[in-house]
Structure 1
Amino acid sequence: MEIILHLGAHRTASTSFQHYMRANAAELAAQGLGYWGPEVTRDGVLSGVIPIAGAMSATVQLDRARGRIALRLAEARAQGLKRVLVSDENMIGAARRNLRRGRLYPGIGERMARFAHAFDGRITRVALSVRGQDSWWASALAYGVGRGHAVPEVDDLDRLVTVNRHWREVIGDLACALRGVDLVVLPHEAHAGRPEDRLRAMTGIEALPRKASRLWLNRAPDLAALRRAVAARGGDVTQLPEGEGRWQPFDRDQRLALQEAYADDLFWLGAGAEGLARLCEETGPDEAGRHLPSGQNARGHQNGFEERRLA
């Protein structure tokens, strides 16, 4: 049985993708594709892969998780499924941990090594969505502040820029933990509003359903919502800028630095990623519907990108 992991990341329309998969689960099962989303993975199936404090040792917890996963996969095979797609962005760590550490998924390698063992080395493909660091951190910060995280100070934002961990390092750790697994990287700017394109990249299935394919769920709160959330807990709403719409906490220079970092990541991926991963930017024909805004996907400023490409 082919096992495919969709790892998110957070803030890359993973909730919208999971809603699409649930809405079309029956039709996809008829094509031999099973789906485990958070409603399955967070209901005990994967408990213990990442150890929790308790009476049992980490080894015992992992062994029990392996048993549960094996039983669930045996049930899937008995139902005639040929492959199972597991989608849960928390497999690579919580977004709040990124905020606390000021880095993108610092523990992804160790975590995914445990998941590889839990699935008995049968993972065949892993899909990871990446997003421009300026918009990823802005979305993560807005989501965090809306959930009670402190509004970041200037020094906090500076650290995200100067001590930032890039997607290249995340992908390198992931590839090291999952040796021999096909690692597909999907830019958020191209695929966010197209769950069927992401599923095609993960599975190769061409005849895909379109039901619930243009929903945009779990959006980061806008400035008005953030002000209400901060005021409700007695915080200082003046820490947030005036105006409406999406909150952009970074200044112009910080945004340019983060955009340059993302452009470098995409350039590295487009050049082959040293054989560690493959970049998938292709999408199907456009259709009427609501899509997420596109972002910069060239290396640095446009002139610099062209010069490097010509060189």
Structure 2
Amino acid sequence: MDVVLHIGAHRTATTTFQSYLAENRAALGRKAITVWGPKQTRDGLLTGVMPVDSPRPPQEQLDRARARIAINIANERRAGTRVLVISDENMIGAPRRCLRQGRLYPDIGQRLARFAHAFDGQVTRAFLSIRSHESFWASVVSYGVARGHRVPDRAALEALAASPRLWRDVVLDVACALPKVELNVMPYEIFGGLPERVLEHMSGLGPMPRAHAREWMNQGPGLGQLRQIVKDRGGDPKRLPDGPGKWQPFDDTALRDMREAYADDLFWLRAGAEGLAQLTEETGPAKTGTTPRTDQKRRGQDDGIENRRLA
């Protein structure tokens, strides 16, 4: 049985993918694919991998989590599961921490090292989705403001744009924490709107169901929504631009620099990532994915990443 970890990142259509998996659970079961999504992982299954307030010390919490996970994986194996997909982006941290520290997932290595111990060498493959820096940070900032963060000033935005920590550094940390696991990196720009193709790569079991594959979940707020949210909580909506559409908080210079940084990330990945990871890309009109259009079906707009804590 293959055990596949889907670790995010946030704001790369992870909720869309998890919804697709949940909606197709019966069809996937017929293919011997079992899914542990947030409904399972945040309902006690992974409690203790990351320490929580408890009379038990952190190491005891981790040991208990390890035993619990082993029992559940053994049950899936006995039930005939061929591929177990475990999808929870909160394994790698929270976007609010990225915002506070101005860096991409600053403690991802330490967190995944604990998960590696908890899974006791049973993970076969891990999948990480990445997104162009200016797009990722714009989405994280917008979502953060919608969830109560203050509207960042120019200095804060410039610091984000100039952050030296790139996806390459994130991949290196993941590879270090999961040294015997096959690590696959998937660009959001290609796969964000193609959850069935993501699952095909994860499972290696051929074509996957198309049902519910074009339902866009947890879409970030637009400028109009953000202005109203800021106004409703007593802030100054004039700190946000006028007009409709999405908020792009970065200026032209920052956008150029961030796009160049992402190009460097992709160049490094295409060059082999020092043998640590594989970049999955597809080309051609029949295979290239795009993020869904605004007229595509959307559900779950309030299914917030910050309200779904990893237990």
TM over 0.5: yes
Shift of 1:81: 0.8
Shift of 1:267: 0.5
TM-score, scaled relative to structure 1: 0.91
AA in 2 matched with 1:57: P
* Sequence identity percentage: 53
Residue of structure 2 in register with 1:123 after alignment:
123
- Give the SS at the match of 1:35: strand
- Give the SS at the match of 2:124: strand
Give the distance between the partners of 2:32 and 2:120, measured in 1 at CA: 21
1:292 correspondence with 2:284: no
Give the distance between the partners of 1:127 and 1:43, measured in 2 at CA: 22
Residue of structure 2 in register with 1:165 after alignment:
165
The answer (yes or no) to whether the contact 2:190–2:290 under 8 Å persists in 1 is no
* Offset from partner CA, 1:12-54 (integer Å, 9 cap, x none): 0000000110111111111111100000000010011011233
Residue of structure 1 in register with 2:252 after alignment:
252
The answer (yes or no) to whether the contact 2:66–2:120 under 8 Å persists in 1 is yes
Residue of structure 2 in register with 1:297 after alignment:
none
Shift of 1:286: 3.7
Structure 2 counterparts to residues 133-282 of structure 1, below 5 A: 133-282=133-282
* Offset from partner CA, 1:202-229 (integer Å, 9 cap, x none): 1112121111001111011000000111
Give the distance between the partners of 1:204 and 1:82, measured in 2 at CA: 10
Structure 1 unmatched runs, 5+? 294-311
Give the distance between the partners of 1:203 and 1:92, measured in 2 at CA: 22
The answer (yes or no) to whether the contact 1:175–1:276 under 8 Å persists in 2 is yes
- Give the SS at the match of 1:185: strand
Structure 2 counterparts to residues 76-87 of structure 1, below 5 A: 76-87=76-87
Give the distance between the partners of 2:211 and 2:50, measured in 1 at CA: 34
AA in 2 matched with 1:65: A
Structure 1 residues 256 and 290, CA, compared in 2 at 3 Å: closer, same or farther? closer
Residue of structure 1 in register with 2:21 after alignment:
21
* Offset from partner CA, 1:165-185 (integer Å, 9 cap, x none): 100000000000100210000
- Give the SS at the match of 1:262: helix
AA in 1 matched with 2:137: W
- Give the SS at the match of 1:123: coil
Give the distance between the partners of 1:128 and 1:194, measured in 2 at CA: 15
The answer (yes or no) to whether the contact 2:214–2:292 under 8 Å persists in 1 is no
The answer (yes or no) to whether the contact 1:191–1:283 under 8 Å persists in 2 is no
Give the distance between the partners of 1:19 and 1:148, measured in 2 at CA: 25
Residue of structure 2 in register with 1:300 after alignment:
none
1:38 correspondence with 2:42: no
The answer (yes or no) to whether the contact 1:197–1:284 under 8 Å persists in 2 is no
* Offset from partner CA, 1:82-124 (integer Å, 9 cap, x none): 2210000000001111111110001011111111110111111
AA in 2 matched with 1:173: D
Shift of 1:290: 8.1
- Give the SS at the match of 2:245: coil
Structure 1 residues 267 and 84, CA, compared in 2 at 3 Å: closer, same or farther? same
The answer (yes or no) to whether the contact 1:214–1:291 under 8 Å persists in 2 is no
Structure 1 residues 43 and 168, CA, compared in 2 at 3 Å: closer, same or farther? same
Structure 2 counterparts to residues 21-100 of structure 1, below 5 A: 21-100=21-100
Residues matched between the structures, number: 292
The answer (yes or no) to whether the contact 2:192–2:290 under 8 Å persists in 1 is no
The answer (yes or no) to whether the contact 2:191–2:291 under 8 Å persists in 1 is no
* Offset from partner CA, 1:173-202 (integer Å, 9 cap, x none): 000010021000000000000001111111
The answer (yes or no) to whether the contact 1:104–1:164 under 8 Å persists in 2 is no
Give the distance between the partners of 1:55 and 1:27, measured in 2 at CA: 42
The answer (yes or no) to whether the contact 2:191–2:290 under 8 Å persists in 1 is no
Greater relative contact order (CA < 8 Å, ≥ 6 in sequence): 2
The answer (yes or no) to whether the contact 1:5–1:123 under 8 Å persists in 2 is yes
Give the distance between the partners of 1:69 and 1:185, measured in 2 at CA: 25
AA in 2 matched with 1:18: Q
Structure 1 residues 134 and 178, CA, compared in 2 at 3 Å: closer, same or farther? same
* Offset from partner CA, 1:210-260 (integer Å, 9 cap, x none): 110011110110000001110111011111011110000000000111000
Task: Give structure 1 regions of 4+ aligned residues with deviation exceeding 4 angstroms.
Answer: none
Shift of 1:266: 0.3
